[in-house]
Amino acid sequence: MNQNKLFNRTRWQLAISYAAVMGLILSLLGFGVYKAIAHAHWVAIDRELESVAGTLHDSLELKLQQPGRLEPIVNELLPNLRLMGVKGITEQLPSRHILSAINQGYYYIRLFDDSGKLIATAGAYPEELPPAFNSQYWQTITDTKGNVYHQISVALHTQTQQDWGYFQVGRSLQDFNDYLSTVKWVLKLGLPTALILIGFASWLLAGLAMKPIYSSYRQIQQFTADAAHELRTPLAASQATVESALLTPQLDEKEAREILRTVERQNRRLTQLVADLLLLARMDNQVIRDRPQLCCLNDLVSDLVEELAAMAIASKVALTSEVRVQQQLNVVGNSDQLYRLVANLIVNAIQYTPAGGKVTVILDCSHQEAIVQVQDTGIGIAAADLERIFDRFYRVNSDRSRHTGGSGLGLAIAQTIARAHRGSLSARSELGSGSTFLLQLPL
């Protein structure tokens, strides 16, 4: 198949198209996964900030007595509390008294008075943050080094519900950005790797998908070549006969009749071949007619044995039938096609059985199936040929087949008819010992 430019190009196109579509789908999926992960982590950060801010806010408001003034007891709540303008760090209590999130190293706290002046900081406060106050509830800010922080601002009140100022809890987004960078790299490396694997798999799958098509294409090519050869033979013979007649100055009546008989014989052979080809073409599209009939195989076998008896006598072959059932065996199908199927089998058996031989047609049934066997004591079929005898235009013995006028379509037609009736046709043979053709049809 790879040597055929048409199929090779089509295979590449299928593989590239499939890989492109899958790449687009995976890209959209990867983008969606990235956005979902980022959103989930962002929501988790917001909830964590709100939880920390809410807990500290409620605890602080219980200890604030005057606006803009921090009570000493606030040191118990905030780690590393630093008052603006005061050097050093206040005394810390053991870590069990400090909120665990604040003690993780990337949270910070800022306290502003009611006018927006920074009073104190706590936690891992980055010095690069601008001291300007913004009362917006959620804020995402960047320091002078380009580091990004996310913070929440909450109003503070004293124990007497006076406005004290504002309380901000923020955290660094460095770990968040590092995690998203890792996800990006995984997607950036994973997508090309997946596309390479998909492209390779697409190439293999396209080849597997096109194998039946290529096989059918080769069969059509072979069928066309064989049909052209079979049609050319009688046409060439007729042409040669006519040309020889035209070159003869004078033809007597006997010669003219002989020429006409030759032309008529070749024309009959050509007509039969075309009819067989048309039958196969029709059966490939619509095997059984729209109105199937109930066919009695007992009558069909009896009629065929009676009609072909003269042919068997002329070939000095004994043709007999053997019915092994008492009841009538009826099948649903086309009676004309079934008639031709069994007739082809019997005619082949007679033609390939030497004088003095015997052909037996057996009718039987088993497991809701009618069985028709055609046994002969003829020349047999070699094992190498047995697998191909149902191929169109295939001849086991070309010289004998041409002598009998066959075109190699008889068994192909029989096989097609059998499959059209949901049945099967098989053969077993031994060279020099005869052959048996087995037809099985559902009752």
Q: Where are the alpha helices (DSSP H) in 62-111?
A: none
3 state DSSP class of 259: helix
pLDDT greater than 50 at residue 168 = yes
pLDDT at site 335: 83
Burial of 385 (0-12, 13-18, 19+ CB in 10 A): middle
Greater model confidence, 164 or 215:
164
pLDDT at site 35: 93
Q: What is the pLDDT of residues 362-402, one digit of tens each?
A: 898 887 888 898 988 888 887 777 777 777 666 665 444 44
Q: In whole angstroms, what is the distance from residue 182 CA to residue 376 CA?
A: 78
Q: Is residue 143 within 8 Å of residue 128, measured between CB atoms?
A: yes
225 backbone dihedrals φ, ψ, rounded to 5°: -65, -45
Greater model confidence, 199 or 96:
199
Q: pTM (2 decimals)?
A: 0.51
pLDDT greater than 70 at residue 79 = no
Q: In whole angstroms, what is the distance from residue 257 CA to residue 251 CA?
A: 10
In Å, how far are 21, 24, 39 from 14, measured between CA atoms? Answer: 11, 15, 37
Average pLDDT, the chain: 80
Greater model confidence, 391 or 9:
9
Close Cβ partners of 256 (under 8 Å, ≥ 6 residues apart): 245
Q: What is the pLDDT of residues 281-335, one digit of tens each?
A: 676 655 455 567 788 888 888 888 888 888 888 889 898 888 888 888 888 888 8
Which pair of tokens denotes residue 259? 């020429």
pLDDT at site 398: 44
User: What pLDDT band is residue 92 in, cutting at 50, 70 and 90?
Assistant: very low
pLDDT at site 229: 65
Greater model confidence, 172 or 95:
172
Give me the residues paired with residue 180 across strands: none
Which pair of tokens denotes residue 63? 């200890």
Close Cβ partners of 272 (under 8 Å, ≥ 6 residues apart): 405, 407
Q: In whole angstroms, what is the distance from residue 363 CA to residue 365 CA?
A: 7
pLDDT at site 25: 92
pLDDT at site 88: 38
pLDDT greater than 50 at residue 98 = no
Q: What is the pLDDT of residues 176-209, one digit of tens each?
A: 888 999 999 998 898 889 888 988 888 888 888 8
Among candidate residues 387, 386, 359, 388, the one with its CA nearest the CA of residue 374: 359
Greater model confidence, 173 or 394:
173
Q: In whole angstroms, what is the distance from residue 292 CA to residue 295 CA?
A: 9
Q: What is the pLDDT of residues 393-440, one digit of tens each?
A: 666 654 444 445 556 677 877 888 888 888 888 888 888 788 889 898
User: What pLDDT band is residue 37 in, cutting at 50, 70 and 90?
Assistant: very high
pLDDT at site 239: 80
Can you give the three-state secondary structure of 164-192, one letter per residue? EEEEEEEEECHHHHHHHHHHHHHHHHHHH
User: What pLDDT band is residue 83 in, cutting at 50, 70 and 90?
Assistant: confident
Q: What is the pLDDT of residues 245-271, one digit of tens each?
A: 787 777 777 778 888 888 887 787 777
pLDDT greater than 80 at residue 94 = no
Close Cβ partners of 234 (under 8 Å, ≥ 6 residues apart): 266, 267, 269, 270, 273
pLDDT at site 428: 86
Greater model confidence, 153 or 409:
153
Greater model confidence, 29 or 399:
29
395 backbone dihedrals φ, ψ, rounded to 5°: -120, 135
196: Cα separation from own chain's centroid: 19
Which pair of tokens denotes residue 430? 């031994």
